[in-house]
Amino acid sequence: MSTHPITGGDINSAFRLQGDSKAYFIKLNHANLEAMFAAEFAGLQELASTQTLRVPLPIVYGTTQNHSFLVLEYLALGASSRKSECLLGQQLASLHQQPKAYFGWGTDNTIGRTPQFNQCCADWPIFWREQRLKTQLEFAAKQGYKGNLQTLGEQLCDGFAALFTTYQPQPSLVHGDLWAGNVAADQQGRPVIFDPACYYGDRETDLAMTELFGGFSADFYAAYQDVWPLDEGYGIRKTLYNLYHVLNHLNLFGIGYLRQAENIMAKLLAELR
């Protein structure tokens, strides 16, 4: 049996554990972070249970004296192709058609290293305000980001429900952290998604994040729209949804994201006037 380090992650150390006939993907972190891996384990189970998109199957998580760990099946992954991008769009739309009676999830999880709260709620704007935007603004305030950021944030939290007067999203199972770095293709050319931050929310949140850092082709969006067309108001709401991730990057990586967050909030407030 041999162990090989895998590079590329920001949060955890990762390794491929190679046995005589099978390989495993292992994540390690500090011993006090077992709950983070427990939530990821549950998210991968939930995604796998839909039989829509392929994910690395979770095997076990736990804690040693010095580390918490998560063991997944090892998948040999490569770059996405036009075929896999089309399949990703179709299969993501199918994933989003997995319904629930509420927004949220059965457990809290993390977005990066940041706690992400998922208390069940019947009202989507309230869920997004209380458990997404306000929590990120509170984390930012604790790190000293006050002043204009908090003023704009308070105004936006008071007013963004106007974006939902003619649009009532259904609770859909979302990946939660769907940027290009969390998508690949297996050796058969099938799309694979991983590193989820799952909950039941507006499907537009997943689509919005695919646009935040780029990396998804026109084929992906066309394939998604063929299965389940987006509402015409998505073009404005995607900015609201991506604000959450920009605020999270501010809290994780520092002041370089402050101006971007403030500009997004000012743009949204101008749309609401």
Residues 197 and 224 in one domain: yes
pTM across the whole model: 0.95
In this predicted structure, the answer to whether residue 176 has a pLDDT above a threshold of 90 is yes
pLDDT of residue 248: 98
Count of domains forming the chain: 2
CA distance 186 to 43: 20
Q: Which of 11, 38, 73 is the last residue of a domain?
A: 73
36, 50 contact by CB (below 8 A): no
Residues 117 and 45 in one domain: no
Mean pLDDT, to the nearest integer, of 240-269?
Answer: 98
Residues 60 and 93 in one domain: no
- The CATH number linked to 54 is 3.30.200.20
- The CATH number linked to 246 is 3.90.1200.10
CA distance 247 to 159: 18
Residues 62 and 36 in one domain: yes
What residue numbers bound the domain in which 138 lies?
Answer: 85-272
Does the residue 96 lie in any domain?
Answer: yes
Mean pLDDT, to the nearest integer, of 154-170?
Answer: 97
Residues 97 and 166 in one domain: yes
In this predicted structure, the answer to whether residue 222 has a pLDDT above a threshold of 90 is yes
In this predicted structure, the answer to whether residue 138 has a pLDDT above a threshold of 80 is yes
pLDDT of residue 141: 98
- Sole residue written with tokens 């972190």: 29
Banded pLDDT at 7 (limits 50, 70, 90): confident
Q: What percent of the chain has pLDDT over 70?
A: 99
Q: Which of 24, 40, 73 is the last residue of a domain?
A: 73
In this predicted structure, the answer to whether residue 9 has a pLDDT above a threshold of 90 is no
Mean pLDDT, to the nearest integer, of 79-88?
Answer: 94
From the candidates 20, 158, 177, 195, which is the catalytic residue?
177
Cα 211 to Cα 67, 175, 217, 221, 235, distances in angstroms: 35, 15, 10, 10, 11
Residues 68 and 93 in one domain: no
177 is catalytic: yes
Mean pLDDT, to the nearest integer, of 157-182?
Answer: 97
CA distance 72 to 14: 11
Banded pLDDT at 8 (limits 50, 70, 90): low
183, 73 contact by CB (below 8 A): no
